[in-house]
Amino acid sequence: MPDALPQLNPSPRLLLGPGPSQIAPRVLQACATPLLGYLDPEYIQMMDDVQVLLREVFETENEWTFCVPGTGMAGMEAALINVLEPGDPVLICVAGVFGDRMANVAERCGAEVTRVDVPWGTAVPAEKVHEALQSVQPKLVGIVHAETSTGVLQPLSEIGALAHEAGALFLVDCVTSLGGVPVGVDAHGIDIAYSGTQKCLGAPPSLAPITFSPSAVEAFQARKTPVQSFYLDIGQIWRYWGSERAYHQTGMINMTYALREALVMIHEEGLEARFARHRRNQQALLSGAQAMGLEPAVEDPAARLPSLTTLRIPEGINEAAVRGSLLNDYGIEIGGGLGQLAGKVWRVGLMGYASQRSSVMLLLAALGDLLKNERVDEGLAAAAALYD
Amino acid sequence: MPDALPQLNPSPRLLLGPGPSQIAPRVLQACATPLLGYLDPEYIQMMDDVQVLLREVFETENEWTFCVPGTGMAGMEAALINVLEPGDPVLICVAGVFGDRMANVAERCGAEVTRVDVPWGTAVPAEKVHEALQSVQPKLVGIVHAETSTGVLQPLSEIGALAHEAGALFLVDCVTSLGGVPVGVDAHGIDIAYSGTQKCLGAPPSLAPITFSPSAVEAFQARKTPVQSFYLDIGQIWRYWGSERAYHQTGMINMTYALREALVMIHEEGLEARFARHRRNQQALLSGAQAMGLEPAVEDPAARLPSLTTLRIPEGINEAAVRGSLLNDYGIEIGGGLGQLAGKVWRVGLMGYASQRSSVMLLLAALGDLLKNERVDEGLAAAAALYD
């Protein structure tokens, strides 16, 4: 043990990876605001604010809209374990790492999991879900809205309708979409949706916003066995977030401050403007990248996720070395590939506060430099044209 | 939805309740430090720092010493679910709310729970554990070191030895002791210990430091069924904290900054000095309170927890009104009773940064005022004498 550890002094970073995303200065300031107690009336008021603001961004009227005390993965787990009991049949759509994890978590609940697997880099066609529903009557159909491992945006309406026709709950992972892409919980008939704070919402990683429709709450209340987790038991968590205000765990006070501030920023910007901003910056990135000969890994333009873009690694490039130079020479973080796509793609997140013209232009310039790309001027011009 | 929500502007508070505790300015600043990515080499270095510093405060050589991504309750859950499988016999000592929760969580694992219950406000005598071990051969003996609901400090050595003689793992909840009271993981033969960041460690609520002895790791690795939780599966978490550095969940970056800074403060102060400070401020509080006629709820002086003191509510006092005035007129938070002790005690935490002479003197003066106590001068003098 050294006598003195170095001071906390991280290098400056522009976070353009799969998350955490760049945090706005006012949200960072919120993190450093002195703490209230977890039952302080002023803190309870802030929890109420967060619920109102979360309903706005989830686009729902669901009363049971709150935060699970953990990252997005805790949200996934809470979403599944509270409605599933051993032996329950479920249908999980798998088009990447996070769909696969959803199936894994459902299995740990003792559920009978039927998977609908599709090639990574594509969305799940409604027909494949329709087909699967011919041979299984699931309690729940689960799908990932924004697959962070592939950069695919999954259409929801048809699959949601199929789930309901089959009498199943419709569960959607919105970790990389909420706050950057329309989620429309009520419009799409989503029964359970969860997210993380550290992507398009623009707060640090810590909490998992979640919402349960009245049908999902009913399914929870009708269960015959206790939820396997006390920490993520939504009955317990709701005793704190709901009217009872009973102690369940010590609220993550300053992370709730940060989320509230980030949600106020979303409210001030307006959802439509925010979605348009995410879309425009991604279009600029894609235009610029393609003009430089960098191709998106998702073939179908309609399936490309505005908040996270996967780019194919050009032939003959040491992709890890490029990411290392981006980090060390430019202070820019982008992500490598995950799972099947490791070594094959880069993942560029333009989420929340980092979804800005300056992020796009700097990244293109930096990639142009590091790849010794001769068409960087064309790339920058193509990107800039999107802002005219 | 109002057009503009009020700015984040919490009233100033002196947090002398059961947690969260007061956060030092330099730890708050750490919370507002811009984020690194969760696999950034600089962040990995900080995780390594945290592990080294946690081993120091846990007083252990255990390699598997890291943080679970959640509050202290997540630590309790991770401690139990990773070593217990359905049908495993366990012995849980219950002397308050948190012992009771430990039994609850073990039951949700499907374990066969034998409880050793003792009256709240007392420690568990080793003889009662010895007696219980005559009729059960548990895989694990669990106990709370610092029972936050009663203010009792539990002696560990004898019970730890009994557990090991019976071939059981020894699990200890150190949520309200770690960093304020010696825990001595290796000296006491503790196999699994966990804590929360928001008590004596002096960081915001968010993470649960945890440590596993080689025997506990072996028990985890020998399990026949998967851990019921993916989020709290220590095999998965260790892939991130250990050498593999694989993605499990997005690290709570700025909460790790804060914990690191709080642990650096502990390292700089030194454990012995820190324990002495906690002890002295508690003695001053007790001397002052007793001189004013306020009696500790824990009869046995040796069983009184340095970090959290329970005081009996005097006859004829509206205890909630007093706590309300403390909060509104003085900005001081203290806790009410929990569970069986609701309405019967106040809980005063002198933890981490708030364990200071000024906290003690202000609280005594404020209580003197609000209770119209005629012996407040004696109380203040008795407390002040401890600092001579």
Residue ranges per structural domain of chain A:
25-267, 270-385
> What pairing do the DSSP bridges indicate for beta strands B308-312 and B335-336?
unpaired
pLDDT of residue A2: 57
Residue A260 — pLDDT band, cuts 50, 70, 90?
Answer: very high
As given in the structure block, the two tokens for residue B14 are 């002196």
Say whether A74 and B206 touch across the interface (CB within 8 A): no
Say whether B33 and A11 touch across the interface (CB within 8 A): no
Residue B3 — pLDDT band, cuts 50, 70, 90?
Answer: low
Chain B, window 111-130: residues with a beta carbon less than 8 angstroms from a chain A beta carbon: none
Phi, psi (degrees; rounded to nearest 5) at A312 = -65, 140
- Reading phi first (left if > 0) and then psi (alpha if -120 to 50, else beta), residue B229 is in beta
Of B20, B30, B108, Cβ closest to residue A38: B20
- Per DSSP, B293 falls in state T
pLDDT of residue B1: 55
Question: Tokens 């892409």 — which residue?
Answer: A181
- Look at residue B247 and tell me whether its pLDDT is greater than 90: no
Say whether A8 and B261 touch across the interface (CB within 8 A): yes
- B198-225: average pLDDT: 98
- Reading phi first (left if > 0) and then psi (alpha if -120 to 50, else beta), residue A121 is in left
As given in the structure block, the two tokens for residue A116 are 């609908």
- Asked whether the beta carbons of B305 and B152 are under 8 A apart, the reply is yes
Please give the Cα distance from B12 to A67 (Å, whole number). 25
Residue B63 in contact with partner chain A when CB distance is under 8 A? no
Question: Tokens 């050009």 — which residue?
Answer: A314
As given in the structure block, the two tokens for residue B329 are 């007129």
- Asked whether the beta carbons of B181 and B305 are under 8 A apart, the reply is yes
- Asked whether the beta carbons of B174 and B194 are under 8 A apart, the reply is yes
For residue A81, which residues of chain B lie inside 8 Å, CB to CB?
229
- B229-240: average pLDDT: 96
For B286, the 3-state DSSP assignment is helix
Please give the Cα distance from A332 to A250 (Å, whole number). 35
- A181-204: average pLDDT: 98
Q: Is the peptide bond before B86 cis (omega within 30 degrees of 0)?
A: no
- Asked whether the beta carbons of A206 and A255 are under 8 A apart, the reply is yes
**C-alpha separations of B55 from B24, B49, B58 in Å:** 22, 10, 5
Could you tell me which residues come within 8 angstroms of residue A145 by beta carbon, excluding any fewer than 6 positions away?
A153, A154, A156, A172, A173, A174, A176, A177, A181, A183, A193
Say whether A10 and B101 touch across the interface (CB within 8 A): no
For B222, the 3-state DSSP assignment is coil
* Residue count of chain B: 388
DSSP bridge partners of B336: B346
**Mean pLDDT of chain A, nearest integer:** 97
Residue B249 in contact with partner chain A when CB distance is under 8 A? yes
**C-alpha separations of A187 from A161, A184, A272 in Å:** 11, 5, 15
Residue B5 — pLDDT band, cuts 50, 70, 90?
Answer: confident
**C-alpha separations of B169 from A158, B79, B165, B166, B208 in Å:** 52, 11, 10, 9, 20
Residue A346's nearest CA partner among A338, A336, A354, A356 is A336
Please give the Cα distance from B157 to B179 (Å, whole number). 19
Say whether A230 and B108 touch across the interface (CB within 8 A): yes
Closest residue in A to B38 (Cα) is A20
- Per DSSP, B33 falls in state S
Say whether B108 and A70 touch across the interface (CB within 8 A): no
Alpha helices per DSSP H over B109-156: 126-132
pLDDT in tens, B300-316: 999 999 999 999 999 99
Q: Is the peptide bond before B20 cis (omega within 30 degrees of 0)?
A: yes
- Per DSSP, B339 falls in state G
List the single best residue of B207, B250, B253 to mutate versus A (max A Cβ within 10 A): B250
As given in the structure block, the two tokens for residue B288 are 């002052």
Say whether A70 and B73 touch across the interface (CB within 8 A): no
- Per DSSP, B186 falls in state T
pLDDT in tens, B325-369: 999 999 999 999 999 999 999 999 999 999 999 999 999 999 999
Say whether B10 and A232 touch across the interface (CB within 8 A): no
Residue B192 in contact with partner chain A when CB distance is under 8 A? no
Chain A, window 287-326: residues with a beta carbon less than 8 angstroms from a chain B beta carbon: none
For residue A195, which residues of chain B lie inside 8 Å, CB to CB?
none
Of A8, A15, A43, Cβ closest to residue B257: A8
- Look at residue B2 and tell me whether its pLDDT is greater than 60: no
Residue B191 — pLDDT band, cuts 50, 70, 90?
Answer: very high
Of B40, B56, B253, Cβ closest to residue A205: B253
pLDDT of residue A1: 55
Please give the Cα distance from B178 to B182 (Å, whole number). 7
Tell me the shortest Cα–Cα distance from B105 to chain A, in angstroms.
6
Closest residue in B to A202 (Cα) is B35
Residue B8 in contact with partner chain A when CB distance is under 8 A? yes
Residue A12 in contact with partner chain B when CB distance is under 8 A? yes
Question: Cα angle at B23 between B352 and B10, to 5 degrees?
Answer: 140
Please give the Cα distance from A313 to A347 (Å, whole number). 10
Q: Thinking of the domain A25-267, which architecture would CATH place it in?
A: 3-Layer(aba) Sandwich (3.40)
Of B19, B36, B206, Cβ closest to residue A13: B36
The CB density around residue B218, as the number of other CB atoms within 10 Å, is: 13
* Residue count of chain A: 388
3-state SS of chain A? CCCCCCCCCCCCCEECCCCCCCCCHHHHHHHCCCCCCCCCHHHHHHHHHHHHHHHHHHCCCCCEEEEECCCHHHHHHHHHHCCCCCCCEEEEEECCHHHHHHHHHHHHCCCEEEEEECCCCCCCCHHHHHHHCCCCCCCEEEEECEECCCCEECCCHHHHHHHHHCCCEEEEECCCCECCECCCCCCCCCCEEECCCCCCCCCCCCCEEEEECHHHHHHHHCCCCCCCCCCCCHHHHHHHHCCCCCCCCCCCHHHHHHHHHHHHHHHHHCHHHHHHHHHHHHHHHHHHHHHCCCCECCCCHHHECCCEEEEECCCCCCHHHHHHHHHHHHCEECEECCHHHCCCEEEEECCHHHCCHHHHHHHHHHHHHHCCCCCHHHHHHHHHHCCC
pLDDT of residue B268: 96
Say whether B205 and A52 touch across the interface (CB within 8 A): no
Question: Cα angle at A194 between A227 and B249, to 5 degrees?
Answer: 85
Chain A, window 29-58: residues with a beta carbon less than 8 angstroms from a chain B beta carbon: 29-38, 40, 42-43, 46, 49, 52-53, 56
Closest residue in A to B260 (Cα) is A8
As given in the structure block, the two tokens for residue B179 are 């960093």
Residue A3 — pLDDT band, cuts 50, 70, 90?
Answer: low
- Look at residue B118 and tell me whether its pLDDT is greater than 80: yes
Amino acid identity, position A321:
A
- Asked whether the beta carbons of B263 and B255 are under 8 A apart, the reply is no
As given in the structure block, the two tokens for residue B206 are 């968010």
Q: Which of A5-14, A352-361, B9-18 has the lowest mean pLDDT?
A: A5-14
Closest residue in B to A26 (Cα) is B32
Cβ-Cβ pairs closer than 8 A, A with B, add up to 219
List the single best residue of A1, A7, A8, A334 to mutate versus B (max B Cβ within 10 A): A8
Of B46, B104, B196, Cβ closest to residue A230: B104
For B208, the 3-state DSSP assignment is strand
- Per DSSP, B284 falls in state H
Residue A73 in contact with partner chain B when CB distance is under 8 A? yes
Residue A63 in contact with partner chain B when CB distance is under 8 A? no
- Asked whether the beta carbons of B297 and B340 are under 8 A apart, the reply is no
For B161, the 3-state DSSP assignment is helix
Say whether A229 and B227 touch across the interface (CB within 8 A): no
Looking at domain A270-385, its CATH class is alpha beta
Say whether B8 and A261 touch across the interface (CB within 8 A): yes
pLDDT in tens, A199-254: 999 999 999 999 999 999 999 999 999 999 999 999 999 999 998 998 888 999 99
Radius of gyration of chain B (CA): 21
Say whether A206 and B206 touch across the interface (CB within 8 A): yes
Residue A38's nearest CA partner among B209, B21, B180 is B21
- Look at residue A191 and tell me whether its pLDDT is greater than 90: yes
Residue B262's nearest CA partner among B221, B201, B341, B332 is B201
Phi, psi (degrees; rounded to nearest 5) at A358 = -65, -35
Contacts 24+ apart (CB under 8 A), A272-278: A274/A179, A274/A180, A275/A180, A275/A181, A275/A182, A275/A306, A277/A355, A278/A180, A278/A181, A278/A200, A278/A306, A278/A307, A278/A350, A278/A351, A278/A355
Tell me the shortest Cα–Cα distance from B119 to chain A, in angstroms.
22
Closest residue in B to A32 (Cα) is B28
Say whether A73 and B101 touch across the interface (CB within 8 A): no
- Look at residue B234 and tell me whether its pLDDT is greater than 70: yes
Please give the Cα distance from A363 to A369 (Å, whole number). 10
Please give the Cα distance from B197 to A337 (Å, whole number). 33
Residue B147's nearest CA partner among B168, B112, B118, B169 is B118
DSSP bridge partners of B15: B333
Residue B328 in contact with partner chain A when CB distance is under 8 A? no
The CB density around residue B381, as the number of other CB atoms within 10 Å, is: 13
